[in-house]
Amino acid sequence: MTLNEFSPTQPVILGFDPGKDKCGLAVMGLDRKLHYHQVVPAQDAIAIIETLRQKFPISLLVMGNQTTAKRWKQQLQAELVQPLNIMLVDERYSTLEARDRYWQMYPPQGLTKLLPKGMRQPPRPIDDIVAILLIERYLNRLTESINS
C-alpha cells in the first residue's frame, strides 16, 4: 500500500512488527483510519520509519513484546534521529489473527475461495497486518481503561 495523498493532521500511531529478516509497518490514526502499511526488509526499517515520521505526525510507536522486541527497542532508541515513545503490546496469537484479517482485507478469489479457511495461506508476508493488529490492541487497551 502506498502513502495516502492526504496526510492526517491529528497524531497517528506507528505499528511495528520487528523481525530478523523483515518487519511490518503500519500507520493508523486514533480514529482507526489506516494511512499506510507495508512489509519492509529489516535492514531498511529504521530509515523507512524516519521517512514515515516526515510524512505523518507520529506520536507513538507500538510494537510487539516477543522475540526480538528488546533488541529492536534499544536499536530504535539509539538510531532514531529524534526519540519516539515506544509502547510494547502483547503480540501472542497475532500471526494467526493477521492471517484471518488478511482474508477480510483481500477476499479470496478463484480456487482459493474453495479451500477451507484454515488451509488458506496468504500469498505474501503479513507482518504489516500484524503491525495493524498491534495498534488496534493498544487502542483497545486504551478504550478499556477509559471505560472501566
Whether residue 84 is predicted with pLDDT greater than 70 in this model: the reply is yes
- Domains present along the chain, CATH in parentheses: 12-143 (3.30.420.140)
Q: How many residues in total does the chain contain? A: 148
* pLDDT in the model for residue 6: 52
**E strand or H helix that includes residue 15:** strand 12-17
- At 60, is the pLDDT very low, low, confident or very high (cuts 50, 70, 90)? very high
* Other Cβ atoms within 10 Å of 13 Cβ, number: 24
Inter-residue contact 69 to 63 (CB < 8 Å) = yes
| Per-residue model confidence as pLDDT tens digits over 37-55 | 999 999 999 999 999 999 9
